[in-house]
Amino acid sequence: MVLKPAIHVIKMEYDTIAAIATPTGSGGIGIIKISGKDAFSIAEKIFQSSHASWGKDRSDGDAISFPLKSHRLYHGHIVNPETGTVLDEVLLSAMKARRTYTREDVIEINTHSGYIVMASILDLVLQKGARLADPGEFTKRAYLSGRIDLTQAEAVIDIINSRTEKSLEIAISQIKGGLKNRIESTRNSLIDILTQVEAAIDFPEDVGDVIDVESVIQILDKAVIDELSGLVAQYENTHFLRDGLKMIVVGRPNVGKSSLMNRLIQDDRVIVTPIPGTTRDLIEETLNIRGIPVILADSAGLHETKDPVEVIGIEKTKEYIHASDLILFMIDASNPFTREDQIIYQTIDEKRLILVINKIDLVEDDFKPEIPEAWDKVPSIKISALYGNGLSSLKDLIAKLSIGDHHLDVQNTISPNLRHKIALEKSLEFAVSAGEEIRKGTSFELVAIDIKETLDSLGEIIGAVAKEDVIDQIFNRFCIGK
């Protein structure tokens, strides 16, 4: 059987591509670039112009009408249209073909945020119909559309090659060890199923024209669907190793949050990403704690207030809590436990927590805080942010909680990236569909389509093009021929 050859990997000009166009990990600004015929419609789905929201305030309710005009710069927010969640405040430039780099419609989203926010915006753009751009693909399009001069052809090729090599290098390092093995063994299970299916189609008289449906379903459920679901979950569980562990310090005012933040920043800061003069209230810092990239955000507090500015800040904090991987919940050892602490705990009690008992320099050594029983199971640590006591243990605990839970070996961890995740989800979808069709008794040649698509999507991750695999397998396994 022939799986789709490299043809499906090289993409066509008719589709719309997107990528983070700025190098990650440095600089205070990031650009997400979208190019192709759907660039504008995708942007229109996820961008809410500030101008538009004023329109709402002016009581007529409707957002100011899109479409975006060409060669204009817009201020506004990226909003997930399904959940209504605001991802970021951005500047968006809209450029219609052909006066653009690629000579296609181009949207550029300028953010001042860290990598995490950019990655989630990119994720949203991809959900709305764009495809993750291949390395050097914007430049390739620029060249193919005639935007770049003929004399630059070789330079373009070098860019494509070097970026491909670079990304290949990265990809290989990303998929070495666990992930690659697991994907290959999943592919082998699929090839095994396909071998039976295709043999029953092409050689009904040699191998019988039916297959053992029960055993195929079992392989599909256990070795494919469970495995792929596990890998997708793994992405969610381990994304912090690539994207950073999103961590926030919460607590009532004056509990010492800023002191702790300053301590951690002084010790472990990798990059500064100040947010100059924007309305954002949360300051993000990227730290390296015990080898784990940690994105630390300050919170505006979670106290009850009527002050409209503070209300906005608290809302922001809540959103951030929702998105974070680990929360440092801080209480004050020198002050009794308050109702305010209890309210904060209720806001965060479903997340992974560390109870940080601060200001132990002000109390006896054998101090025991009077906290509700329910909190006992929360891992806790005593520190003095002011003097630095207990900080090292806190860092150990952070590392243990983020990695220890997953029994991860940081060096050799199975950590799919966004590109992998997209392919994994796609293959999972096809595998599930194949399972449903087999159960329904659908004819094999149709089931085969779903199985091949599952294989193709997995092949995209490890770059495998399994051309004659199945035909070879059939001849190895079955005695074919008169």
Residue 149 sits in the site that holds another protein (CB under 8 A): yes
Q: To the nearest whole angstrom, how small is the minimum distance from the Cβ of residue 38 to another protein?
A: 16
Residue 153 sits in the site that holds another protein (CB under 8 A): yes
**For the chain, the helix, strand and coil percentages under 3-state DSSP, each to the nearest 5:** 50, 15, 35
Binding mask 277-296 for another protein (x = CB under 8 A): --------------------
Answer for which of 198, 243, 281, 284 binds another protein (CB under 8 A) is 198
Residue 148 sits in the site that holds another protein (CB under 8 A): yes
248 in Cβ contact with 289 (< 8 Å): no
Binding mask 164-193 for another protein (x = CB under 8 A): xx----------------------------
- C-alpha–C-alpha distance, residues 111 and 433, integer Å: 38
Residue 8 sits in the site that holds another protein (CB under 8 A): yes
CA gyration radius, the chain: 27
Cis peptide before 67 (omega within 30 of 0): yes
Residue 140 sits in the site that holds another protein (CB under 8 A): yes
How many residues sit close enough to another protein to count as binding (CB under 8 A)?
A: 55
- Which CA distances in Å does 267 have to 254, 286, 287, 349, 391? 22, 12, 9, 29, 10
- C-alpha–C-alpha distance, residues 38 and 128, integer Å: 9
By CB neighbour count within 10 A (0-12 exposed, 13-18 middle, 19+ buried), where does 439 fall? Answer: exposed
Helix ranges (H only) for 208-352 are: 213-219, 227-243, 257-268, 308-323, 339-348
- C-alpha–C-alpha distance, residues 366 and 442, integer Å: 69
Cis peptide before 163 (omega within 30 of 0): no
Residue 475 sits in the site that holds another protein (CB under 8 A): yes
- C-alpha–C-alpha distance, residues 409 and 177, integer Å: 11
Q: To the nearest whole angstrom, how small is the minimum distance from the Cβ of residue 446 to another protein?
A: 5
Q: To the nearest whole angstrom, how small is the minimum distance from the Cβ of residue 427 to another protein?
A: 15
Answer for which of 74, 138, 143, 375 binds another protein (CB under 8 A) is 143
- Which CA distances in Å does 134 have to 16, 17, 369, 419? 11, 8, 55, 10
Residue 446 sits in the site that holds another protein (CB under 8 A): yes
Residue 1 sits in the site that holds another protein (CB under 8 A): yes
Strands 380-382 and 292-297: unpaired
Name which of 374 and 446 has its Cβ closer to another protein.
Answer: 446
Binding mask 412-441 for another protein (x = CB under 8 A): ----------------------------xx
Answer for which of 29, 172, 210, 374 binds another protein (CB under 8 A) is 210
Please choose, out of 36-44, 53-61, 160-168, 419-427, the segment that lies near another protein by the rule CB under 8 A.
160-168
Nearest to 475 by CA among 157, 18, 1: 1
Please choose, out of 114-122, 139-147, 340-348, 353-361, the segment that lies near another protein by the rule CB under 8 A.
139-147
Residue 449 sits in the site that holds another protein (CB under 8 A): yes
- Residues within the interface to another protein (CB under 8 A): 1-2, 4-10, 12, 14, 134, 136, 140, 143-144, 146-150, 153-154, 156-158, 160-161, 164-165, 198, 201-206, 209-210, 440-441, 443-446, 448-449, 467, 470-471, 475, 479-482
